[in-house]
Amino acid sequence: MTPAKPRFPTTNPATGAPGTVHDGLTLDEALAELNHARRAFEGWRRTGFDARAGLMKAAAAVLRARRDEYAALMTAEMGKTLTDGRAEVEKCAVACEFFADHAAGFLTDEPVDVGGPTACATFNPLGVVLAVMPWNFPFWQVIRFAAPALMAGNAAVLKHASNVPGCALAIEELFREAGFPRNLFRTLLIPSDYVEPLIRDDRIAAVTLTGSVAAGRKVAAAAGAALKKVVLELGGSDAYIVLEDADIALAAKIAATARMVNAGQSCIAGKRFIVVESVLERFEAALVDAMRAFTPGDPTDPATRFGPLVSVAARDEINRQVEASIAGGARLLLGGEVPDQAGAWYPATVLAEVGPGQPAYDEEIFGPVASVIRARDEAHAIRIANDSAFGLGSGVITADIARGTRIARDELDAGMAFVNANVRSDPRLPFGGVKHSGHGRECSRYGLLEFVNAKTVWVEGGSSSVE
């Protein structure tokens, strides 16, 4: 008996209306696709950087040409505003161009003087990389992995989040439209329980996942058992320290911007705002004003800054965390009530007097909820910032740039630290975290090096040289 194909329905988060339903692959079909990807890799690995770069720049052109189409797809499947969707597509195009321009230099052989023989480090692709990606930035999360992985000479297969199947298929098609070999990048519409069998398969060389800590543990365990390289970008509870010398209006603007990126549905969104008590009251008032300016609206309207959340279930979980935090002693300053309307809507929310034992302190709230935490002084603020299982992004807001730089560079346990700015990803800089926020890096040369074999080549005799 032939196994039934899994199905992937979509729901419009703004209205709750059902959308397109896509048929997926059975496990046997998904495993068979690995043969095609592996064969494509064998040819691609011998393709020169100039040819790869030309195709990657063509991908950037496709992204820009189809920007509005891709943005509308994100809006329909996961509720992103059209404006944010267009910006996401442009960011993807910039990343494609960055790696097209720099991959050859990043992967140039590195000669090493060993006192006689010729020796160097060279960088070879690993093979087929399996990517398990989330819904919140459905194009950017994929492109920031795929652009460096493909430029390094690898092939890729994508298991995207189940609620964005249209985005997943569109990304495969954009690489095909750009002229890449047909099977070099494949989207596999499969359920999550197919991921482990794929990881075990010898045709998969490495794995990358962006997602929850729970998903990261499962993928890391499967990859470890199979002795496969894995990169994990997991949750975050980014802390921003507001010092007593900060410009409070600027601090509130930075905090609200950091908290409300993608309706708060971002691993690097600011979540905990740790404020020295001498300016706490002023900051709370300013933050409420800044957050109140984010009024939920129709995500298809280009003027809208704040759309729905991804699903009613996600909204209800956020509301549970808010209510539990209030029951635990937090004080509600803004929002915090589920609106009486269809769709996955939740208001911009501010909680004060947040402390240990409350979800707003201990957990990641993946939505538009800002948590304000009191600190006695700088040292106490740093301790609170580091008192988290997560370590993705962090920030410092201060008028003293040298002081902020010292804290950011030396004191905060995070993969990224920003002074007087909100945390963001950039293809030119390493992106990733420590602790439960994962390991490994994306973007920059460091991201490119995650999926290559750094090989030692040593040559003795004659006048041979390693080039």
- Given 3-state DSSP classes, what are the helix, strand and coil percentages for the chain, each rounded to the nearest 5? 45, 20, 35
- With residue 70 as reference, give the H or E element that holds it: helix 67-78
Whole-angstrom distance, CA of residue 442 vs CA of residue 98:
13
Alpha helices in 226-358 (DSSP H): 248-260, 280-292, 312-327
- Strand partners for 370: 350
> With contact defined as beta carbons under 8 Å apart, do 315 and 368 qualify?
no
Backbone angles phi, psi at 361, to 5 degrees: -100, -40
> With contact defined as beta carbons under 8 Å apart, do 273 and 283 qualify?
yes
Structure-token pair, residue 455: 């090989």
Residues 6+ apart with CB under 8 A from 42: none
Whole-angstrom distance, CA of residue 69 vs CA of residue 64:
10
Q: Which residues are catalytic?
A: 233, 267
Cα 89 to the chain's mean position, in Å?
A: 14
> With contact defined as beta carbons under 8 Å apart, do 237 and 367 qualify?
no
Structure-token pair, residue 181: 């070999």
> With contact defined as beta carbons under 8 Å apart, do 109 and 466 qualify?
yes
- Strand partners for 131: 158, 208
DSSP 6: P
> With contact defined as beta carbons under 8 Å apart, do 314 and 366 qualify?
yes
